[in-house]
Structure 1
């Protein structure tokens, strides 16, 4: 089972020809609103990849719709708390070439307390997975409990903060970074990822695929990307990580888990939106990729 300490946002999408430059005002061609937040995206992706997922998070009284939608998408929501503040939200600009620019207001996501986390993880079992990102607080507390209970900790270190990563690094079993984050992390520690104490590190490289660094096995493997026509990259990394966690929870090997996650994220960039449009296993099968692991 996957326990996901993660954000829940209302995502506001503004579709533009180009991303705005400093001081520039642009008129959006289209506007849409949907469920998002890195945490919610990863929970939905993991559920659609066949895992049992319990989301640990918070929304305001205005966010009951988000909790209901997560439940509709197969995510268990008993540990999503209703708090006395507004639900988090993100304003997302998407350009014609699929690139995006995002501003986040954390809202209720910053109200997830140690007490809430402890109440949830008290129900966890050894060999479960704790999945985390950086859009909530108290990750170190959660990771400490998880390791005490024998859970595997997967940490997608975004939005990236070097100090947050270094504070957690001793508790992390699998670290997921994008290319820019990996470069910043290497610069901060003054060494390459291959020397890091984390057992497994995955670096997503966008159109160039991804890289898996196994410090336990002392190997590095590269995986080429699937060639697709991207229209919106928003949520692709979250989809990758959610699918990866689900595949590992289902005891797939790391190469097979990465392959499945890359297929899901390839489909994701061909869709507009975030949690509401994350593909499921049948979508991947129907698209005609290689055999699903």
Structure 2
């Protein structure tokens, strides 16, 4: 696969931090933001309210050069909001119900490029409308599907998530999510092998916080990586999304699994030195662009 279109489906929202900072976010938005900085021009499919935050998202995307063609506006429901707290060094999320991204609709999406990679998470499909739209997109899609598991209480069920995984080619989840979906994870690699085999996946990636991450593909290649310790930690919000963005980039550009994992870990580590999940300065990305010969 070489530089095919990447379609990103799911929530766009505003993260509200304890210090009253508000940062645009949502895993799909964060992933699309990074991909844009790396020259991928993602097709972001989401929905915002007809409100101040929605306008801020549109303006930020426009300034960043992103495609707004598939960002829908809802006249009834507000742009998504999440209250973020930091507990034991890890972000915790309080997610409001019935937000604009719960009502992503299919009209207007038939003309997108349905090849390449389709990326989605698990939060936006908590609602029937967005779930139906994703199913319709999958029915039209002619390429690979990447699911980024984000289990946010109370907005998920094990059966629903496993069905989503069953439709995917590549799956990324963290160690806690692996525990939630597997009955026995005493041996992490064995659990990865079981999930990979049961759902006929091509690649499974498990992130393990400060321990790094592990990847396993269907040829048996196992690729562990460790985080970079030289970064001064500010917060870990969005580190997983940064990791996902580089996984998509690597898969799309034909990097080896080992290269992709090392580069994803490097970029995710760098993001923990930033406040929030996105950076609006292209200079932050330039060393990676140069090093990876993009």
TM-score band by shorter chain is 0.7 to 0.9
Match of 1:8 in 2: 12
Root-mean-square deviation (Å): 2.6
Which structure is higher in RCO with an 8 Å CA cutoff and minimum separation 6? 1
Residues 244 and 53 (structure 1 numbering): CA distance in 2 closer, same or farther, change over 3 Å?
Answer: same
Work out which of the residue numbers 207, 217, 220 in structure 2 matches 1:218.
220
User: Once the 2 structures are TM-superposed, how far is the Cα of residue 56 of structure 1 from its aligned partner?
Assistant: 0.2
Per the alignment, in what secondary structure is the counterpart of residue 192 of structure 1?
Answer: helix
Match of 1:260 in 2: 263
User: Once the 2 structures are TM-superposed, how far is the Cα of residue 32 of structure 1 from its aligned partner?
Assistant: 0.9
Per the alignment, in what secondary structure is the counterpart of residue 201 of structure 2?
Answer: coil
Work out which of the residue numbers 99, 114, 136 in structure 1 matches 2:124.
136
Per the alignment, in what secondary structure is the counterpart of residue 160 of structure 2?
Answer: helix
Residues 147 and 209 (structure 1 numbering): CA distance in 2 closer, same or farther, change over 3 Å?
Answer: farther
Work out which of the residue numbers 254, 270, 273 in structure 2 matches 1:251.
254
Q: Does the alignment pair 1:174 with 2:166?
A: no
Contact 2:223/2:261 (CA < 8 Å) preserved in 1? no
Work out which of the residue numbers 123, 145, 159 in structure 2 matches 1:153.
145
Match of 1:292 in 2: 292
Per the alignment, in what secondary structure is the counterpart of residue 187 of structure 1?
Answer: coil
Per-residue CA deviation, residues 214-237 of structure 1 (Å, 9 max, x unaligned), is: 1x2023221122113322011110
Match of 2:25 in 1: 36
User: Once the 2 structures are TM-superposed, how far is the Cα of residue 60 of structure 1 from its aligned partner?
Assistant: 0.3
Q: Does the alignment pair 1:101 with 2:92?
A: yes
Contact 2:223/2:257 (CA < 8 Å) preserved in 1? no
Residues 141 and 218 (structure 1 numbering): CA distance in 2 closer, same or farther, change over 3 Å?
Answer: farther
Match of 1:57 in 2: 46
Could you tell me how far apart the structure 2 residues matched to 1:178 and 1:163 are? 18
User: Once the 2 structures are TM-superposed, how far is the Cα of residue 164 of structure 1 from its aligned partner?
Assistant: 2.4
**Please, what TM-score do these two structures have when normalized by structure 2?**
0.82
Could you tell me how far apart the structure 1 residues matched to 2:74 and 2:258 are? 40
User: Once the 2 structures are TM-superposed, how far is the Cα of residue 195 of structure 1 from its aligned partner?
Assistant: 2.3
Contact 1:11/1:35 (CA < 8 Å) preserved in 2? yes
**Please, what TM-score do these two structures have when normalized by structure 1?**
0.82
Could you tell me how far apart the structure 1 residues matched to 2:181 and 2:118 are? 22
Residues 177 and 111 (structure 1 numbering): CA distance in 2 closer, same or farther, change over 3 Å?
Answer: same
Per the alignment, in what secondary structure is the counterpart of residue 232 of structure 2?
Answer: coil
Contact 1:2/1:131 (CA < 8 Å) preserved in 2? yes
User: Once the 2 structures are TM-superposed, how far is the Cα of residue 33 of structure 1 from its aligned partner?
Assistant: 1.1
Q: Does the alignment pair 1:73 with 2:61?
A: no
Contact 2:118/2:141 (CA < 8 Å) preserved in 1? no
Residues 3 and 48 (structure 1 numbering): CA distance in 2 closer, same or farther, change over 3 Å?
Answer: same
Contact 2:83/2:94 (CA < 8 Å) preserved in 1? yes
Match of 1:163 in 2: 159
User: Once the 2 structures are TM-superposed, how far is the Cα of residue 199 of structure 1 from its aligned partner?
Assistant: 1.5
Per-residue CA deviation, residues 102-142 of structure 1 (Å, 9 max, x unaligned), is: 211251010112x24xx42542143x110001221245753
* Higher mean C-alpha deviation, range 129-138 or range 68-77: 68-77
Match of 1:24 in 2: none
* Structure 2 portions without partners, runs of 5+: none
Could you tell me how far apart the structure 2 residues matched to 1:66 and 1:188 are? 41
Per the alignment, in what secondary structure is the counterpart of residue 205 of structure 2?
Answer: strand
Per the alignment, in what secondary structure is the counterpart of residue 275 of structure 1?
Answer: coil
Work out which of the residue numbers 167, 177, 186 in structure 1 matches 2:182.
186
Residues 140 and 260 (structure 1 numbering): CA distance in 2 closer, same or farther, change over 3 Å?
Answer: farther
